[in-house]
Amino acid sequence: MAFLQWLDGRGWLVAAGPLGDQDGAGLTVARVPGDKVGELVEAAHQQDASVAEGLFDVLVRPWQVRFATPQER
Amino acid sequence: MAFLQWLDGRGWLVAAGPLGDQDGAGLTVARVPGDKVGELVEAAHQQDASVAEGLFDVLVRPWQVRFATPQER
């Protein structure tokens, strides 16, 4: 997806992948500086042709991570 | 939240916090062995009194993480 590459290029991509209980649904987590949120929202709607053309919807939600556990990779 | 403590005690909690665009909404990410998913779903519905009593809804969705970037913490 163009949007994921765009996020990754800025160092903002945390994790992404499909939500297995719904065809075509996915979840992307990005860590974005507060003053770049508008840029993120714009890119989320425009970077992917499938979204820009109305085939898929995108919803950007703010997530305040209060608990996080380091993960082995 | 009792459910978060329960998750953390099993080493399954990845990250959790409120979704800032909706009062009372939150997102919790857990990494769970495949054969423990049923246990997770049951706990999500029963560990918190507010969920068990019907004050809040809980939805457990499977997320196949295909891209992940190591994060500094």
- Interface test with chain B among A8, A60, A71, A73, by most B beta carbons within 10 Å: A71
Q: How far is A18 from chain B (nearest CA, A)?
A: 5
Provide the pLDDT for residue B71: 64
- Give every residue of chain A whose pLDDT is below 70, as ranges: 71-73
CB-based contact A70 B70, cutoff 8 Å: no
DSSP assignment of B10-70 = TT-EEEEEEBTTSTT-EEEEE---GGGHHHHHHHHHHS-HHHHTTSS------B---EE--
Q: Residue ranges per domain, chain B? A: 1-19+30-68
pLDDT higher than threshold 60 for residue B73: no
pLDDT higher than threshold 70 for residue B36: yes
Provide the pLDDT for residue B50: 82
Name the token pair of A54.
Answer: 């109305």
The reply to whether ipTM tops 0.90 is no
- Report chain B residues touching chain A, CB-CB < 8 A: 4, 8, 11, 13-21, 27, 29, 31, 61-71, 73
**Contact residues, chain A, for B31 at CB < 8 Å:** 71
Residue of chain B with shortest Cα separation from A65: B17
pLDDT digits 0-9 by tens, B4-30:
999 999 999 999 999 999 999 999 999
Provide the pLDDT for residue A56: 87
Provide the pLDDT for residue A70: 76
Label residue B32 by pLDDT band (50, 70, 90).
very high
pLDDT higher than threshold 80 for residue B70: no
For chains A and B, CB pairs below 8 A equal 81
Label residue B31 by pLDDT band (50, 70, 90).
very high
- Is residue B61 within 8 Å of residue A21, measured between CB atoms? yes
